[in-house]
Amino acid sequence: MNPVDHLMVSAMELLPRRWVRPFAMRYIAGEKLSDAVSWVKRLNSDAMMGTLDVLGENSKTKEDTLLAAKACQRVLQAIDEHHLNANLSVKLTQLGLQIDQELCHSNVREILGIAKAYTNFVRMDMEDSSTTSATLDLYERIRSEGFENTGVVIQASLRRSEQDVKRLIEMEANVRLCKGAYVEPEALAFNSREEIRLNYLKLLKMLLGAKCYVGIATHDEFLVRKAYQSIQDMKIEKADYEFQMLLGVKPVLRRSIVADGHRLRVYVPFGEHWYTYSLRRFQENPRMTRYILRTLFSRKE
């Protein structure tokens, strides 16, 4: 992020939350599970799948992790009750990864067991680079315990990701491949758009070539076109991949992907912890940040 964009995001953090909320809700289904269910029903009616996510991360106490695990279980129950074409995404720090890894493991096992009973799937999301190794270790442990209804995320911006993909290929992992939303030091991450794009395409071809199921998570139309080409050249079956996008981002593009005959899933976050998530989205999209600040301050004049 360039210094001007960084300054703008810092300015956003100083604004009252009530000013930011109307813009943040572009990316969030709402604060309640019922809001998320309504959104997924709309997506399903448009031939799109959903992934529900209970917002929150970095739980501080065991009690908080247990509450988060119960919230995830309620999501799985709601998906089943409402016959939604959707699955669940979880953040491991919300479930105790940085408190006690055994506690996190226990929470994840319980959620996966419930998901398995509903014939559903749980994605272990990836967070900042300080959690990458622990996340992959937990994923590998869970898989070794016989849970096949789970996948993980790889961020193309991280320099280590090629080696991580090689490890995941050995497990025949289900992988969501994204650029990465976290601001990381240059020693750990590629910082230029072109470097990230090139690494994304390299990792995508590795995963597709190894017959891993891939969630091609991007809003970059260049990468979408290149993914189309790789799918065609490698003769990948439509059942072996899907495109993935975030709620509120490029709805025209997502409709185009579906119209072109590809499966597409939309990430549908909800919950009380909307503010932190929204700031990360604004970091990814400085143009949106400029628009918000311009709109807010023009109203104050």
Q: What is the pLDDT of residues 38-51, one digit of tens each?
A: 999 999 999 999 99
Statement: residue 22 has pLDDT above 90: no
Q: Does some domain include residue 1?
A: no
Statement: residue 301 has pLDDT above 50: no
Q: What is the pLDDT of residues 186-241, one digit of tens each?
A: 999 998 999 999 999 999 999 999 999 999 999 999 999 999 999 999 999 999 99
pTM, rounded to two decimals: 0.89
Q: Does some domain include residue 8?
A: no
Beta bridge partners of 158: 189
Among the listed residues 125, 164, 197, 263, the single catalytic one is 125
* Annotation says 125 is catalytic: yes
Q: Does some domain include residue 147?
A: yes
**Structural domain total, the chain:** 1
Q: Does some domain include residue 237?
A: yes
Give the whole-angstrom CA distance, residue 13 versus residue 279: 8
Among the listed residues 53, 123, 143, 176, the single catalytic one is 176
Give the whole-angstrom CA distance, residue 301 versus residue 297: 7
Give the whole-angstrom CA distance, residue 233 versus residue 212: 16
Query: What are the CA-CA distances from residue 19 to residues 22, 124, 270, 272, 297 (Å)?
Result: 7, 32, 19, 16, 11
* Annotation says 176 is catalytic: yes
Tell me the residue range of the domain where 180 lies: 29-270
Pairing of strands 86-90, 122-124: parallel
Q: What is the CATH number of the domain that holds 71?
A: 3.20.20.220
